[in-house]
Each structure stands twice: as structure tokens, then as C-alpha cells.
Amino acid sequence: MEQSIRAQVQQAADAASSRNATDPVALDVSGRLPLTDAFLLVSGSSERNVSAIADAIDERLGASGVQLKRREGRGSGHWELLDFGDVVVHVFLEEDRQFYSLERLWRDCPLIPLEEPAAAS
């Protein structure tokens, strides 16, 4: 997987963390899907938190020049999908993430290691 894609995944994970997202999991789906290379899955604790996490990811990647191609679920507060082309981010309400269990569905895909976000000073 290209380093630029790994960097996008890490930036998205850092942005999600800045809004208190939990349980980040990044998957390399490049060998299974022709349309994208990576999934990032994160959870939010409330409907409002899910929206805030998605907004933060959109802002951070947009500021880095990564264009959002599509956003689904805005306003539902349960699951927002952000499609950046090479990276697709799924932001779930905790209960919905357990219900849909994408980690189980894509369990054959390799994990992409994520670094802990730098502590704010």
C-alpha cells in the first residue's frame, strides 16, 4: 500500500481522535475491492459525536488537499460514510458498529497499523 494512503488513514484517525472517537481500526482492502484501498472504522458515543467526528475528518483531509467524493448518512447520527477515493471512513454510533460488524465481514483483510495521536500541548 502506498505511503500517501497510509498517511491519509492516519490523518483521518487523528482527526477522529480529536473528537473523542473510540476503537479505530484500519483495514487494507486493496486486494479485495477495486474501488478503494483502505477502510477506517471508528465509533462515536452519541449521534452528535458521530457527526462531529465525521466533520473533523472531512476538515482535516480537506485541508491536506484530499477531496471528499461522497458523504452518506449526514444527519442520521448512526453511521456516516466518507468516501475520499483511496480511503473510505465509516463513523458509527457504538451500537450500530456492533450490529453491522464490518470488522468481521472484512476479517481477511490486513490491518493497517495506526499510531497513537500526539498529545495536545
Residue 80 domain-assigned? yes
Give the predicted TM-score (pTM) of the model: 0.93
- Which residue is associated with the grid cell 505511503? 3
E strand spans, 4-86:
22-28, 38-44, 70-72, 79-83
Residue 19 domain-assigned? yes
CA distance 62 to 85: 13
Residue 38 domain-assigned? yes
The predicted-structure confidence for 53-98, as pLDDT tens digits, reads as follows: 999 999 999 999 999 999 999 888 899 999 999 999 999 999 999 9
CA distance 71 to 110: 25
Residue 49 domain-assigned? yes
CB of 82 closer than 8 Å to CB of 1: no
Give the CATH number, domain containing residue 78: 3.30.460.10
Q: Which structural domain range is residue 23 located in?
A: 3-105
Structurally, how many domains does the chain consist of?
Answer: 1
Residue 121 domain-assigned? no
